[in-house]
Amino acid sequence: MTKQMDQSKEKGAVLKYLAKFKGQKRTTPLVSPVPTDILITLIGAFLGIAILSILTLEYMTPMLATPLGASAVLVFGAPDAPLSQPRNVILGHALSAIVGVTTYQIWGIHWWSVTLGTSLAVLVMLLTKTTHPPGGATAMFAILNAAKPIYVLTPIIAGSLLLVLVGIFVNNLSPNRNYPRYWY
């Protein structure tokens, strides 16, 4: 009898777990930003990435890394989001870059080192309250590109600082925006 009850509980737990997959019904409609904010987003993303690109391609100062493109989406497209705030952008990238470079330096490039480095970057960001989704890509990029320690400073810290600075100047042109919402 106990065995049947245990199996029934297990089946119920599995069904409850699987029921989560269908999600919930949306209670609020998807909204689009006002046209002014869309234009400001475009201008901010353009200027932020333009500065990084010019420094990299014209002045041979390495300021571009693909995760910074994702950060531009957050800083300019979702400036109110907690994960878009300067602490998260700068420290999330910096800590993830340190984890990625360290992982590569110790273990090189393997399927498991890429996995470990990216996972550890997520862990470090969570523990330090600096979660920034592109940080996972920052760590992965470091490992896959055999990054040297300078990668932490440039392009990562310098590039994320520049994006935040452009975000401060451009996002605040909108009467609907206040960036940053907080620094720490």
Q: Is position 14 within any domain? A: no
128 belongs to a structural domain: yes
Query: DSSP assignment, residue 171?
Result: H
Residue 19 lies in a domain: no
Q: Say if 22 falls within a structural domain.
A: no
Classify 25 in phi/psi space as left (phi over 0), alpha (psi -120 to 50) or beta: beta
**CA gap 94, 159 in Å, rounded:** 10
Residue 5 lies in a domain: no
**Residue at 15 is within a domain:** no
Range of the domain at 135: 35-171
- 63 vs 52: CA distance, rounded Å: 5
Q: What is the pLDDT of residues 55-91, one digit of tens each?
A: 999 999 999 999 999 999 999 999 999 999 999 999 9
Structural domain count of the chain: 1
Q: Is residue 180 part of a domain?
A: no
Residue 8 lies in a domain: no
Q: What's the whole-model pTM score?
A: 0.91
**In whole angstroms, what is the distance from residue 90 CA to residue 163 CA?**
9
What pLDDT digit, counting tens, does each position of 137-156 carry?
999 999 999 999 999 999 99
pLDDT (0 to 100) of residue 1: 60
CB 174 within 8 A of CB 36: yes
